[in-house]
C-alpha cells in the first residue's frame, strides 16, 4: 500500500502541473509563454492584444510590423504612418490587394502568419498527458508484480510449514 500512496501523490502533482491554473512556461510570470499574458479575470494565460508581443505582452510591434502577434507588414508607408495595431494609417497604403470576381470587390490581406505558441502549448500538454498515462501504467505493472511476488512468497512459506 505505500506504493499506492506514493503513486497517488505523484499523479496528483503531475495533474496539477499539466492542468493547473498557471501556464506551461514556468520560467515566465504565472507560467505564461511569450506572446501571452496573465488574465486576472479568467485566471488563465491569454494572447496579447493586437499590436503587442513578447513576455507578458510588454513590447509593441516595431516598424514595419503591426497587428496580431506582429505578423503583418506596412510595406507601402513610412514609419510615421504605420500604426503598431492597425498598420498604414492612409488606406491607400494598406498591405492588401483587391480583385473583382463577377462584379464583387474582395479584399485579401497579404503576409499574415499563424504563430506557433498555441500549437506548442497543445503539444506540451499532450506529451505530458501521454507521459502521465504511461507512468500510471508502469506503476500499476510494478504494483501488480510485487503483489504476485508477495503472494507467491506467502504460498511458498505456507507450503513449507
pLDDT tens for 68-104 read 999 999 988 999 999 999 999 865 444 443 333 344 4
Do 106 and 143 reside in the same domain of the chain?
Answer: no
pLDDT tens for 108-152 read 444 333 334 566 777 788 889 999 999 999 999 999 999 998 888
Cα diameter, the chain: 98
Q: How many domains does the chain have?
A: 2
Asked if residue 16 has pLDDT above 50, the reply is no
Do 88 and 157 reside in the same domain of the chain?
Answer: no
Q: Per-residue confidence at 18, pLDDT binned at 50, 70, 90?
A: very low
Does any domain span residue 31? no
DSSP 3-state of 41 = coil
CB atoms within 10 A of CB 57: 19
Do 62 and 72 reside in the same domain of the chain?
Answer: yes
Do 86 and 54 reside in the same domain of the chain?
Answer: yes
Question: In this structure, are residues 3 and 11 in contact, taking their beta carbons and an 8 Å threshold?
Answer: no
Does any domain span residue 29? no
The last residue of a domain, from among 114, 129, 145: 114
Domain encompassing residue 43: 36-114
Closest CA to 96 of 114, 74, 79: 74
Do 149 and 119 reside in the same domain of the chain?
Answer: yes
Do 40 and 109 reside in the same domain of the chain?
Answer: yes
The whole-number pLDDT of residue 155 equals 73
The whole-number pLDDT of residue 30 equals 85
Rg for the chain, CA atoms, rounded = 27
CA gap 70, 117 in Å, rounded = 13
Residue 132 makes CB contacts below 8 A (sequence gap 6+) with 11, 14, 15, 18
DSSP 3-state of 109 = strand
The whole-number pLDDT of residue 116 equals 44
Do 98 and 131 reside in the same domain of the chain?
Answer: no
Closest CA to 12 of 116, 132, 113, 121: 132
Question: How are beta strands 82-83 and 104-109 bridged, if at all?
Answer: unpaired
What are the CA-CA distances from residue 120 to residues 2, 7, 65, 79, 87 (Å)? 36, 28, 23, 33, 28
Does any domain span residue 30? no
Average pLDDT over every residue of 12-16: 50
Does any domain span residue 137? yes
pTM: 0.43
Amino acid at each position: 500500500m505505500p506504493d499506492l500512496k506514493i503513486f497517488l501523490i505523484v499523479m496528483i502533482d503531475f495533474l496539477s502541473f499539466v492542468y493547473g491554473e498557471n501556464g506551461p512556461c514556468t520560467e515566465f510570470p504565472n507560467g505564461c509563454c511569450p506572446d501571452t499574458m496573465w488574465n486576472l479575470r479568467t485566471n488563465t494565460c491569454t494572447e496579447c492584444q493586437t499590436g503587442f508581443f513578447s513576455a507578458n505582452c510588454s513590447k509593441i510591434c516595431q516598424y514595419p510590423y503591426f497587428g496580431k502577434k506582429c505578423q503583418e507588414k506596412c510595406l507601402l508607408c513610412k514609419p510615421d504612418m504605420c500604426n503598431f495595431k492597425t498598420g498604414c494609417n492612409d488606406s491607400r497604403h494598406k498591405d492588401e490587394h483587391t480583385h473583382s470576381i463577377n462584379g464583387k470587390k474582395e479584399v485579401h490581406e497579404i503576409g499574415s502568419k499563424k504563430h506557433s505558441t498555441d500549437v506548442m502549448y497543445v503539444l506540451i500538454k499532450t506529451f505530458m498527458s501521454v507521459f502521465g498515462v504511461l507512468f500510471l501504467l508502469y506503476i500499476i505493472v510494478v504494483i501488480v508484480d510485487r503483489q504476485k511476488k508477495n503472494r507467491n512468497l506467502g504460498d511458498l512459506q505456507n507450503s513449507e510449514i
